[in-house]
Amino acid sequence: MRIATWNVNSIRARLPRLQEWLGARQPDVLCVQETKCTDDEFPEQEVREMGYEVAFHGQKTYNGVALLSKHPISNVIRGFPGDGEEARFISGRIRDVQIASVYVINGETVGSEKYARKLEWLKKLRDHLNKTCAADVPWMLAGDFNITFDDRDVYDPAKWHERIFCTTRERDALKAIVDLGCRDALRKYHHRNGIYTWFDFRTGGYQRGQGLRIDHVLVSTPLFKALRDVEVDLAERGAEKPSDHAPVIATLALD
């Protein structure tokens, strides 16, 4: 089973790219972030026509998350207590794995009100996972965490030292989630620096090779041994009218 995550930066603006990408890559599951539409505006028909079941949790203009799956989705959870009523979390059970699509608050700048909210939100997410992740059900978190794990995920660590996405407090909050009992899937296979999932439009980051790895697939410990491969689809980031994020695809060997 192949599970992907992709911050599409508006599912309506990205629909042509999404259709082409799903057709070409055919993942079993796609966790989507930044759909940027209310549930009644979600292009549900178009997604179903690609052969996918869908569960979404959206709002006007900002945020919005969804699960696309070739297999049935059950036990759907939209949001969690203390999430600030923003549409940033949805999870569902697919082939006996509870899979979440997560869009962590950006945080703007260190010390801002949004930065404080980001850290609070991450605590609430941890609380939610601690309560809902049953020991006997394998689980995964996939999404845009807006946090780098370490300086290998940063194109210029000196420039980004203790800046947003790279602060010790953000990284500790991410580690606290990992400590619930999961692992960073990509690092099972790839240990080098320079693997990025996001490139800033404004600075022409992609063309300059200046990116960050802030999109992650976290796999619960019992499921980690079933992991077979993880890849970042950089070609998609280089396409016409791309999102600013590249998709990440994880392959699992389930029974």
Bridge-based pairing of strands 97-103 and 139-144 is: parallel
DSSP code of residue 151: G
| Residue range at the interface with DNA (CB under 7 A); choices 48-56, 100-108, 133-141, 150-158 | 100-108
Q: Does 130 bind DNA (CB under 7 A)?
A: no
Bridge partners of residue 245, in order along the sequence: 198
Please tell me the distance from the alpha carbon of residue 14 to that of residue 34, in angstroms, as a whole number: 11
Q: Identify the CA nearest to 200 among candidates 242, 151, 171, 158.
A: 242
Indicate the residue among 212 and 232 with the shorter CB distance to DNA. 212
245 is catalytic: yes
| Smallest separation (angstroms) from DNA to the CB of 160 | 12
| Residue range at the interface with DNA (CB under 7 A); choices 11-19, 66-74, 171-179, 227-235 | 11-19
Q: Could you say which of 150, 203, 209, 238 contacts DNA (CB under 7 A)?
A: 203
What contacts 24+ positions apart, CB below 8 Å, involve 189-192?
A: 189/229, 189/230, 190/230, 191/152, 192/152
Whole-number Cα distances in Å, 24 to 17, 21, 191: 10, 5, 28
191 is catalytic: no
Q: Could you say which of 108, 127, 150, 179 contacts DNA (CB under 7 A)?
A: 108
Q: Does 13 bind DNA (CB under 7 A)?
A: yes
Q: Does 60 bind DNA (CB under 7 A)?
A: yes
| Smallest separation (angstroms) from DNA to the CB of 233 | 17
Q: Identify the CA nearest to 139 among candidates 93, 79, 98.
A: 98
Please tell me the distance from the alpha carbon of residue 122 to that of residue 254, in angstroms, as a whole number: 29
Angle at the Cα of 131 (from 130 to 133), degrees rounded to 5? 70
**One of 28, 52, 57, 103 is an active-site residue; which one?**
103
| Smallest separation (angstroms) from DNA to the CB of 113 | 9
Indicate the residue among 63 and 148 with the shorter CB distance to DNA. 63
| Smallest separation (angstroms) from DNA to the CB of 68 | 17
Where is 182: in which H helix or E strand? strand 182-184
Q: Does 201 bind DNA (CB under 7 A)?
A: yes
Restricting to residues 139-158, which ones interact with DNA according to CB under 7 A? 146
Q: Could you say which of 44, 62, 193, 222 contacts DNA (CB under 7 A)?
A: 62
Q: Tokens representing 14?
A: 């990205």
Q: Does 216 bind DNA (CB under 7 A)?
A: no
Indicate the residue among 26 and 203 with the shorter CB distance to DNA. 203
DSSP secondary structure of 100-134: EEEE-----STTSHHHHHHHHHHHHHHHHHHHH--
Contact between 91 and 100 (Cβ < 8 Å): yes
Indicate the residue among 28 and 170 with the shorter CB distance to DNA. 170
| Residues at the interface with DNA (CB under 7 A) | 9-10, 12-14, 36-37, 60-63, 105-106, 108, 114, 146, 201-204, 241
Q: Which sequence positions are flagged as catalytic?
A: 103, 144, 245
